[in-house]
Structure 1
Amino acid sequence: MSSETVSVFHTVQEVRAWREAQRSIGNTIAFVPTMGALHAGHLQLVNLAATKCDLVIVSIFVNPAQFAPHEDLATYPRTLPQDIAKLSALPHTIAVFAPSVQEMYPRGITTDRSLQRGTFVEVLGLSEMLEGGTRPHFFRGVATVVAKLFHIVGPDVAVFGQKDIQQCCVLRAMVTDLHFPLKLVVAPTVRDPEDGLALSSRNVYLTAEQRQCAPAFYRGLRSACDLFAAGVVDRNQLIDAVKQEAIKGGLDIEYISLSSPDDLSEIEQVGSAGAVLSGAWRMGSTRLIDNVLIGFEF
């Protein structure tokens, strides 16, 4: 497929006109929201989306509302021409929505939450857990922009990656609470086949030495999974397995969590409902996250 066959839209009006034209001929639409800097993980989401509906639309938008003033909004990789080229190489009919900040936030947006004005979406309870402890602005920004995108695109199916497991939980609750007429699909985390590091747009920030150390967290997650398979359900033992590998790798651990799949509250042992084992760590100025699902599937 050549790049000319990938339709690229920049305005809400263009996307809605495309959507209505596709609806009129009976096509179903799958949606993959991204912030660009596409890697193999994103492309796998697109490939999965293509199995769910007739057409796929991918959004590429670096969302200011989910960044705090001290975070990496200004330096977040923006690679739209390369992203479109990668999508055009896929054997699917794909559209791209690449709006400006003004298009998505017509009344303006600042990363300083105290100065923000306008309409925002909050999923209370889930948003305050885990990542929300250190990034209280984050899920408000995510829920707001995804709600806007759902409203604009009107998809039948939306596909997200498990790497951002809390995001998936927050958005699943939002879809239920706000009665969005779509199915939310969560795809397994895509990992480097050599060392298991979860693919992330922020991996490009890692130095060669940091890149060698970064997979230590996933090795810890796998060790915990092995313990669970052997019958261990105790919180401390599972978390310690992750911590030991992470420390060996020289990672600066921010948190390690064993939480309920239902409300992401911390639990003391894995019960019949299973658990989410997750965490965040830093390597220099780069912050990474990862998780595994224990005893259940999303």
Structure 2
Amino acid sequence: MRIVRTVTELRAALEPHRSGGIGFVPTMGALHEGHLSLLRAAAVENPTVVLSIFVNPTQFGEAADLDAYPRTEEADVELAASAGAHVVFAPSAAEMYPAGFATTISVGGAVTATLEGAVRGRSHFDGVATVVATLLLAVQPDRAYFGAKDAQQVVVVRRMVTDLRIPVAIVTCPTSREADGLARSSRNARLSAEERQLAAIVPRSLRAAQDAFASGIRDAHRLTALVREGLAEAGLDDEYVEIVDADTLDPLTDVTRPALLALAVRVGTVRLIDNVVLDPAVDDRTAVERSGA
């Protein structure tokens, strides 16, 4: 496996492999099983797999959150190799944002105005779109792999790729979960033992709404209220619990088409996000049961 630091090195390393197919997994490092599952999925479909490690400062709204984000490159490289990565692109901030960098990609509409956009501000997704576009243009992969936990990010990236006609297939992989259902995240490592127990309330609250949905309840207010009740019983205050269209992210009052039930909540100082899909045509509970929720 090869580690490269510049776009020039990256393109030179990948040039001999372009005819065979390249899969790309963008990350901010601190790899866990969720990232490794993306790498393994990419390795199945592509002879060459690229992982990027870059803690992008433009998508952090709080300086403290950026400073606290773990940097574990040496361990990440070992894990990436074990999961099938062939090239690790680990650029510096100066490489990604060189002197004079003045371009921002901004995706408009409901896909960036709701959920994370409403809480963290439009600039958060400007940062996401800009860095992902920059990475895609540097790697020029055939396929790029993202986890469903960051569902809004996936929608934003799909919109950007479609609008800018970037020739890459965006592949969404299922949310990777711990045994108790908690969605895997690099931030989970910052939870104390007591907070980690509280965090398990998040997937249980989502499951309660899924059960209600499976029983025939389609009213979005009733479903989100069930989630909020579960969180409140554990003393957790949500930043949002919303049901939106799975493709457009427009808010829904009744779930008559595939929808996303998404939430954000703080457990101690750690901010967690999670979501499940509610589809009138498919009972999604089985997928979550397989993942341990």
Tell me, yes or no, whether TM beats 0.5: yes
Among candidates 55, 67, 71, match of residue 74 of structure 1: 67
4+ runs deviating over 2 angstroms: 68-71
Aligned partner of residue 169 in structure 1, secondary structure: helix
Equivalent residue, structure 2, for 1:57: 50
Tell me if structure 2 keeps the 8 A contact 1:158–1:185. Answer: yes
| Whole-angstrom distance in 2 between the partners of 1:248 and 1:97 | 44
The reply to whether residue 188 of structure 1 matches residue 188 of structure 2 is: no
Among candidates 255, 272, 288, match of residue 288 of structure 1: 272
Q: CA RMSD in A?
A: 1.5
CA offsets 1:114-141 (integer angstroms, 9 cap, x no match): xxx6101111111121101111121110
Q: CA deviation at 1:68?
A: 2.3
Q: CA deviation at 1:107?
A: 2.2
Identity of aligned residues (%): 47
Where structure 1 has 5 or more consecutive residues not aligned to the other structure, the ranges are 1-5, 109-116
Superposition pairs for residues 1-298 of structure 1, below 5 Å? 6-23=1-18, 26-90=19-83, 92-107=84-99, 118-125=102-109, 126-136=111-121, 137-193=123-179, 195-271=180-256, 273-295=257-279
| Whole-angstrom distance in 1 between the partners of 2:266 and 2:85 | 38
The residue type equivalent to 2:90 in the other structure is A
The residue type equivalent to 2:9 in the other structure is E
More helix by share: 2
CA offsets 1:181-200 (integer angstroms, 9 cap, x no match): 1110000100002x100000
TM-score, normalised relative to structure 2: 0.92
TM-score, normalised relative to structure 1: 0.91
| Whole-angstrom distance in 1 between the partners of 2:113 and 2:229 | 27
Q: How many residue pairs are counted as aligned between the two chains?
A: 280
Tell me if structure 2 keeps the 8 A contact 1:214–1:251. Answer: no
CA offsets 1:43-93 (integer angstroms, 9 cap, x no match): 001001111211110000000111124441122100000001111223x35
| Whole-angstrom distance in 2 between the partners of 1:277 and 1:146 | 25
Aligned partner of residue 263 in structure 1, secondary structure: coil
Q: CA deviation at 1:288?
A: 0.6
Tell me if structure 2 keeps the 8 A contact 1:275–1:293. Answer: yes
CA offsets 1:13-62 (integer angstroms, 9 cap, x no match): 01111121212xx3210000000000000000100111121111000000
Change (3 A) 1:70 1:102: closer
Tell me if structure 1 keeps the 8 A contact 2:39–2:85. Answer: no
Where structure 2 has 5 or more consecutive residues not aligned to the other structure, the ranges are 283-293
